[in-house]
Structure 1
Amino acid sequence: MDKSRFIFRSIVQSQPARHITSATSSKPPWICTACLRRTARPSILFRAQRQHRRWQSSNQQPADNPEFQSIVDNPPQLVRANRKHNTLGLLILAAIPVTAFILGCWQVQRLGWKTDLIAKFEDRLVREPLPLPPQIDPNAIKEFDYRRVYARGKLRHDREMLIGPRLHDGEDGYLVITPLDRSEQFPGFKGNTTILVCRGWISKDKAAQSARLDGLPQGEVVVQGLLREPWKKNMFTPDNVPQEGKWYFPDVYQMAEHVGSQPVWIEETMRPDLLTSYDRMAKGVPIGRTPEVNLRNNHTQYIFTWFSLSLATTIMMWMVIKKAPGGSSRRLRQSKEW
């Protein structure tokens, strides 16, 4: 009985001491984590570590450690990269300014050629109109392109052809092509004297001849216009269907064979007058073209475009060559001594 009472008294006396120890160890100024791993519980170890880190952050600076080294004490070493530029990429990049410069020089030559051609055509426009002979050599038309001529004869409206669709001031319509029979003007000539005359543009609602009786002159007429070289067809224009009366492109040789005339193309001209054009449109009379050269001359813009591209790509190539490969001129080598 005395022995059990002694054991109970020892347990009661040891409990307050254990409580005091746990209470005082929760907030120590410093604690050994190695000892806590062996004796303390996990929760007490976690709180102790957290309080230790908090104490270090509030009371100790990195520079307090005598072995601490900053970036100034151990600066990085700058070394050049040993990579090389892609040879194929440089060749392709170098070919762009060279090609653009060559195209710019070619456009300079084209500008001179186009300027001389327009000047030659304008010189032909100011001359007096020539009468057309009964027979015309198709190979000689090139030397008389844009030459003012006139012819007398009778318009064959029964063989009329409409080329279209064609736009004029934003409205849809057709070009009226009518053969001009000149056999009465040259009665002693036994050959073919008929030529093709492009009378001008009519609106789509005046395509039927019954809707434009004022535009179908009868008897002998005098046609004055420009002698033009046969047109050249591009790959996007559909083929003509003469059997169905569908003409999409003025193929002079095909049209001449269809109506039995010479492959000679005359474009009838008129003075540019807005009121006259409106009156002709209302009556169904074809609106002729103005006697001027309508060749486009955009080579100056092309010259500026190609030379600008050559200069820009040359600067780009110089910047690429000057800049070392790898994205930067130098590469920073990491220092492991920090």
Structure 2
Amino acid sequence: MAKSPQFLRLFARIRTHDASSITSRARQPQTRFQCLRQPQPIQRRFTHQPADDPTFESILDKPTRMVRSGQKHGFGLIVLAIIPITAFCLGTWQVQRLFWKTDLIAKFEDRLIRPPLPLPPFIDPSAVADFDYRRVYATGKLRHDQEMLVGPRTLDGEDGYLVVTPLERIVNGKVSKFLVCRGWISKDKKDQKDRKLGLPEGEVTVQGLLREPWKKNIFTPSNRPETGEFYFPDVLQMAELSGSQPVWIEETMRPDLLVSYDREAKGIPIGRPAEVNLRNTHTQYIFTWYALCAFTSVMLWMVVKKPPSSTARRVKHSTQW
């Protein structure tokens, strides 16, 4: 049976489409294998590494030694070691000072219990040291016109002054004077007109302690003799000012609270008790310095013997890095 031309054209179109599809499928594996056989080159850039050098030698190949980190002590350890040594030396020095001060106080107390000596008319100043704290007495006239006030000085928390008056004696027609520290008066009795009862006239007998000249403290201001201001009992200066011998006598009295109140109200100087008033605090210093020595020694031992912490472990250290 004859076929129509339209059918033939449709058959031809379908055939052509199938042939093209088969051809494309057949070519596809060929194209894939072709890509595998000829890969496209990939452009990469590499930096130069130390290992590329044929003479390179790793630090791991270097000789090593074991060290402990965190165990180095610097200047602080040196200071910590000096402190106990210095404290021990100061404590030992205070022990020597304690023996010296104890012997000195015992010597002065032995002199106090001896009977008082009459004061010679003229005294060699160099011999006063051998009679320090020795009880003496003398009779003469107090020169109130040459009185000097040293101060301010406190007694029981109240301000006042020390009254220093030359005692004048005439022996074989020669005038002999020495300085007498009569005692303490209150500040409101500074003027002589306010303390007439404290200015005895005629001959009086003074009994007191013969003392060495005082040593000035570096913090004490200098005296002003021209204005009558004396902050420190400078024996040589006051003796030259009054024409006296450089001899210092501290008038004494028996301690009595009622008598002291009566003297203060009348403006009569309150004398010192006949006792040794040297400070002896060397025992406290000994304890302080030796305690500091022991404490810092323990600290030094703990620092040196302290085990390393968890962060201070043994590590390898190359000696040729």
TM-score under structure 2 normalisation? Answer: 0.75
Name the residue aligned to 1:169: 156
Name the residue aligned to 1:120: 107
Shift of 1:189: 5.0
Name the residue aligned to 1:219: 202
Q: Percent identity?
A: 69
- Determine whether 1:97 maps to 2:84: yes
Name the residue aligned to 2:300: 317
SS of the residue aligned with 2:136?
strand
**Superposition pairs for residues 149-168 of structure 1, below 5 Å?**
149-168=136-155
Deviations 1:279-322 (A, max 9, x none): 00000000000000000000000000000000000000000001
- Determine whether 1:253 maps to 2:240: no
Name the residue aligned to 2:187: 204
- Determine whether 1:180 maps to 2:163: no
Q: For structure 2, list consecutive stretches of 5 or more residues without a partner in the other structure.
A: 1-65, 316-321
Partner letter of residue 283 of structure 2? T
SS of the residue aligned with 1:264?
strand
Q: 1:235 aligns with which of 207, 218, 221?
A: 218
Shift of 1:80: 7.7
Deviations 1:70-96 (A, max 9, x none): xxxxxxxxx983333224322211110
| Equivalent residues of 2:69, 2:312 under 8 A apart | no
Shift of 1:323: 1.4
C-alpha distance in 2 between matches for 1:85 and 1:306: 29
The structure that is strand-richer by fraction is: 2
C-alpha distance in 2 between matches for 1:178 and 1:301: 38
C-alpha distance in 2 between matches for 1:291 and 1:328: 69
Deviations 1:196-255 (A, max 9, x none): 000000000000000000000000000000000000001110000001000000000000
C-alpha distance in 2 between matches for 1:328 and 1:112: 52
- Determine whether 1:300 maps to 2:278: no
Bigger CA radius of gyration:
2
| Equivalent residues of 1:271, 1:290 under 8 A apart | yes
Partner letter of residue 234 of structure 1? N
Partner letter of residue 146 of structure 2? R
Compute the RMSD of aligned alpha carbons: 1.7
Deviations 1:158-201 (A, max 9, x none): 00000010000000000000000011xx1x153x4100000000
C-alpha distance in 1 between matches for 2:314 and 2:264: 79
TM-score under structure 1 normalisation? Answer: 0.71
Q: For structure 1, list consecutive stretches of 5 or more residues without a partner in the other structure.
A: 1-78, 334-338
Q: 2:267 aligns with which of 278, 284, 306?
A: 284
Residue-pair matches, total = 250
